[in-house]
Amino acid sequence: MNKKDTSNNLGNLIFDHIAHAVPNIEEAIIQYQKTFGTIASEVRVIEKQKIKMALISIGNIKIELMEPLDDKSPIAKFLHKNPKGGLHHYCLSVEDVNEFYKIQKNNGINILSEPFSGYHGRNLYFIHPNQICGALIEVEEHEK
């Protein structure tokens, strides 16, 4: 393996969170609490994304629990294939998501949509799982 510098110069890229799709968010919160002693944020309903969501922090890692609101939610489709739940995507954040999007688009990266505003007001987009070994990757702006 090449031992060259692997630091990133494309927008100060950092890890933000892991998203865990679950069939029942309240049960998932209890399981995380019982297993790791964690405390979850308040469960929020995000109508725009058709999910219930809560955050759990373990050390410097955030886990975003997501439950679908209805059968039209992308999370419902994921749970249809994975009924017990599972890791849905991971998220990387950058300083300027619009600039990072343009660079990736110009480099032929397979992106699912143009940047849009997430529930938290930060712009984001998703990279298609076919781009990197089957992993769905969210790219969003750094938290201000």
What is the DSSP annotation of 71-123?
A: TTSHHHHHHHHSTT-EEEEEEEEES-HHHHHHHHHHTT--BSS--EE-TTS-E
What's the pLDDT score for residue 2? 44
Domain ranges of the chain: 14-141
Residue 86's Cβ-side half-sphere holds a number of Cα atoms within 13 Å equal to 12
| CATH class in words for 14-141 | alpha beta
Return the bridge partners of 67, or none. 52
What's the pLDDT score for residue 12? 84
What's the pLDDT score for residue 9? 57
pTM for this structure?
0.86
pLDDT band at 1 (very low <50, low <70, confident <90, very high): very low
Asked if the model's pLDDT at residue 8 lies above 80, the reply is no
Asked if the model's pLDDT at residue 6 lies above 70, the reply is no
